[in-house]
Amino acid sequence: MHLDLSIVIPLLNERDSLPELEEWIHNVMEKNKFSYEIIFVDDGSTDNSWEIIEDLANKNSNVKGIKFRRNYGKSAGLNEGFKAANGNVVFTMDADLQDSPDELPEMYRMVVEDGFDLVSGWKQKRFDSFLKNNSSKLYNWVTRKMSGIQLHGFNCGLKAYRHDLVKSIEIFGEMHRYVPVIAYNEGFRKIGEKSVKHQARPYGKSKFGISRFIRGPLDLLSIMFVTKFGKRPMHFFGLWGSVLFVLGFISAFFIGVNKLHYLNSGLHAPRVTDTPFFFIALTCMILGSQLFMSGFLADLILRNAPTRNKYGISKVLGLHSDDINLFEKKSNLGSIVEESSKNLSSKNKQD
């Protein structure tokens, strides 16, 4: 049975804020008569955050927890929290008390009544450092231009998701910053935004680091590329490999024709290696061949990947979900049997 809300809260060394945050959420939930769960994900804290979570769980049965052996990052925390969430609407928020639980009821309404797949918070007035504020503005502008999604704040920790959305996506690396982009590319196109109250951090220190300037743009490029060409890598590598090879071949052809023209005219023909165009043409053909082979190998790998035919299905007509699951299990079983038969045949030949 689904609950009304699941609230996933990844954290790292936030022992001082946890009791106050849990009490604040509890009061909001009781006031609005929501059934809920709070899933704290301890991302390898070195203080006694986990002991506090255990104590809160003893006092409130709606509190649950996941503890990592070491620090894996916010993306890992969200991914595991999404797996465990049972709410019809799943929220994410930071544990530092900068996100206000008072925003949850309205964001819940936007998902349930207005039909949004995802509602992202927008911190119009921020209580962060000058560097963090301005870097976030630049980051949001670049993400809007590259993704086409018109959100003011992509990386706001306070977000609301439809249940089937969080079960359809996977987050890893540093991609928690781009959950709206991942969701949009998975077919969840109704993405909204709500202006939310942002508060100064009362305890601890910010986890903001300079490394986000490097990791953020690289992760965005990775998402855009994998989404577009993840199931057809040959279309990218093969196209540009072919373009480079053809350009190099045409250049080499004209260099050869020019050499023959000199010889046929009885003129002194310069050596083809004396012109830089020969080496440019040769480099283009080599790079083109390498790109083409990369696409070919990527296609071979994809054809043997277990997720090669994994697609998001939003509705089924005339079939039950159990029928689909059974079909998937049979397909997987068939692959296992086929692989086992090949191994057995190979072993018999060796014997």
- What is the DSSP code string of 261-298? HHHHTTPPPPPGGGSHHHHHHHHHHHHHHHHHHHHHHH
Query: Distance between CA 273 and CA 258 in Å, rounded?
Result: 13
- pLDDT per residue over 310-345, tens digit each? 544 544 444 555 544 544 444 444 444 444 444 545
Least confident segment among 19-23, 184-188, 297-301: 297-301
* Angle (deg, nearest 10), helices 212-229 and 130-147: 10
Query: What pLDDT does residue 338 have?
Result: 45
Lowest mean pLDDT among 103-117, 164-178, 323-337: 323-337
Contact between 111 and 160 under an 8 Å Cβ cutoff? The reply is: yes
Q: What is the pLDDT of residue 34?
A: 96
Q: Whole-structure pTM over 0.85, yes or no?
A: no
- Please report the pLDDT score of residue 332 as a whole number: 47
- In degrees to the nearest 10, what's the CA dihedral of 179, 181, 187, 190? 90
In this prediction, residue 256 carries a pLDDT of 83
Alpha carbon 139 to chain centroid distance? 16
Q: If you average pLDDT over every residue of the chain, what do you get?
A: 79
User: What's the pLDDT score for residue 108?
Assistant: 96
Give the residue from 74, 321, 314 showing the smallest Cα distance to 190: 314
Identify the pLDDT of residue 314: 45
Where is pLDDT greater, at 186 or 322?
A: 186
Quote the pLDDT of residue 31: 96
- pLDDT tens track for 247-290: 988 988 888 888 888 778 877 777 877 778 888 888 999 998 88
Q: Which tokens go with 126?
A: 């921020």
More confident residue, 109 or 220: 109
Has residue 105 got a pLDDT over 90? yes
- Residue 39 binned pLDDT confidence (cut-offs 50, 70, 90): very high
Cα angle, residue 348 at apex, residues 342 and 351 outer, rounded to 5°:
145
Q: How far is CA 21 from the centre of its chain?
A: 27
The pLDDT value recorded for residue 336 is 41
Share of residues in the chain with pLDDT > 70 (%): 72
pLDDT of 138 strictly over 80: no
Using the predicted structure, report yes or no on whether residue 118 has a pLDDT greater than 70: yes
Q: Stretch 185-199: mean pLDDT, rounded?
A: 86
